[in-house]
Amino acid sequence: MHISVNGEQHEFNEVEVSISRLLEIRQVESPEMVAVQINGEFVEMQNYPNTYLKSGDDIEFLYFMGGGSQ
Amino acid sequence: MIDFTEEQLERYSRHILLDDVGVEGQEKLLQAKVLIVGAGGLGSPAALYLAAAGVGTIGIVDSDVVEISNLQRQIAHFSKDIHFAKVESAAEKMKAINPDITVKTHRECLRAENISGIIKDYDFIIDGTDNFPTKFLVNDACVFLGIPFSHGGILRFNGQTMTVIPYRTACYRCSFRNPPPPDAVPSCAQAGVLGAVAGMLGTIQAAETLKYITGVGELLTNSLLTFDAKTMIFRKIKLNRQANCPVCGTDPQITELVDTEKTVCGLS
Ligand SMILES: [Zn+2]
């Protein structure tokens, strides 16, 4: 399976990769600081375990970034 | 039509020379009203560039005073300004760069009950706040009032920004939904930030503001610009307005402004 994560190409041998699994594989330390979209569509956090990726999917991890004033 | 003085023609000559801006564009800038939320790392460069550009009325909101740890990146504030109100400090520099403009200072915290009154008379808002409750509050208030704004965030070596035209392009909640849990959030105060990254991002927000006012080019709408100053890789991530967005979607769950915990004040 071939997917793109934040513009980088990934090849997976595993047949079933969920968003939860992908967050592990990518070693995202605080998943609550990331918003996930697949092919431009927002994915609810409670759906991460049962949302499986398809070959050709375009995944974006959007990081929450505060900062600015202080 | 404004009658430009000799001095104005000279002051703004490098704008007027631009085919896309010209005298007409400069006139739009002089008549525009922009509010900057936060006189910090992002608000400082944005405020100075907008003042220099001749944006006629610039409001600036912040309740804090200048501290020595701000000076590494908040370039509107000087060592002599420590302990003084950030809005007054910023206003002084803006007026010094360009006495032609009006600066309105709002030394207060934005909350659900005062935000609409403060932002309603402005044409465009720059979000340069340091915390998520306020970022979401700014988003929701701008969506409700139909005021375009620029979202900005920085952390460590990274920055992100998007421009939102309410109900026409993706809003902040379309992609980010809800503030992350407070205990999960590393702030610049905890995680640090490279000073120049604040300048890069605040300057991009200022450029978006000038583009919006003059109608030049394509805004950063329906896209999130992110960069990593370590590699200087810039990415523009495509975003879509989401029909199930809780504020700008077809069946919004959020229909009034509410303060989430720890909104704005006393976060340091
Ligand atoms: Zn939305």
Res B80: pLDDT: 98
Look up the CATH number of the domain holding residue B107: 3.40.50.720
**Weakest-pLDDT range from B31-40, B185-194, B244-253:** B185-194
Res B260: pLDDT: 80
Residue B208 forms part of a structural domain: yes
* Comparison of pLDDT for A30 and B96, the residue scoring more: B96
**What residue spans define the domains of chain A?**
2-63
Chain A: closest CA distance from residue B261 (Å): 16
Is residue B105 a contact partner of residue B89, using CB atoms and an 8 Å limit? no
| ipTM reported for the complex, 2 dp | 0.91
Residue B214 DSSP SS3: helix
Res B11: pLDDT: 98
Q: Are strands B57-61 and B233-238 parallel, antiparallel or unpaired?
A: unpaired
Residue B112 DSSP SS3: coil
pLDDT value at A68 more than 70? no
d(CA B80, CA B60): 20
* Comparison of pLDDT for B26 and B264, the residue scoring more: B26
d(CA B143, CA B257): 11
Is residue B133 a contact partner of residue B260, using CB atoms and an 8 Å limit? yes
**Weakest-pLDDT range from B82-91, B107-116, B179-188, B213-222:** B179-188
Q: Return the residue of B nearest to A30 by Cα.
A: B184
Residue B75 forms part of a structural domain: yes
* Separation in Å, CA B130 to CA B29, B138, B153, B190: 27, 12, 8, 12
Nearest CA to B70 among A70, A55, A11? A70
**Weakest-pLDDT range from B29-33, B135-139, B183-187:** B183-187
Band (pLDDT 50/70/90 cuts) for residue B264 is very low
**Weakest-pLDDT range from A54-58, B49-53, B190-194:** B190-194
How buried is B161 (Cβ within 10 angstroms: 0-12 exposed, 13-18 middle, 19+ buried)? buried
Residue B80 forms part of a structural domain: yes
Res B135: pLDDT: 96
Query: Sign of the C-alpha dihedral, residues A41, A42, A48, A50?
Result: negative
**Which fold, A2-63?**
Ubiquitin-like (UB roll) (3.10.20)
Res B263: pLDDT: 47
Q: Are strands B33-37 and B57-61 parallel, antiparallel or unpaired?
A: parallel
Residues of B in contact with A63 (CB under 8 A): 155, 158, 160, 226
Residue B184 domain boundaries: 32-238
Residue B194 DSSP SS3: coil
Q: Return the residue of B nearest to A36 by Cα.
A: B175
Residue B99 forms part of a structural domain: yes
B72 close to A (CB below 8 A)? no
Question: How many beta-carbon pairs under 8 angstroms link A with B?
Answer: 103
Residues of A in contact with B198 (CB under 8 A): 67-68
Chain B: closest CA distance from residue A12 (Å): 23
Q: pLDDT digit string (tens) for B152-190?
A: 999 999 999 999 999 999 999 999 999 998 877 666 667
Q: pLDDT digit string (tens) for A20-66?
A: 999 999 999 889 999 999 999 999 999 999 999 999 999 999 999 98
| Number of structural domains found in chain B | 1
Whole-number average pLDDT of chain B: 94
d(CA A39, CA A29): 23
Residue B95 forms part of a structural domain: yes
CA A36 to chain CA centroid, nearest Å: 5
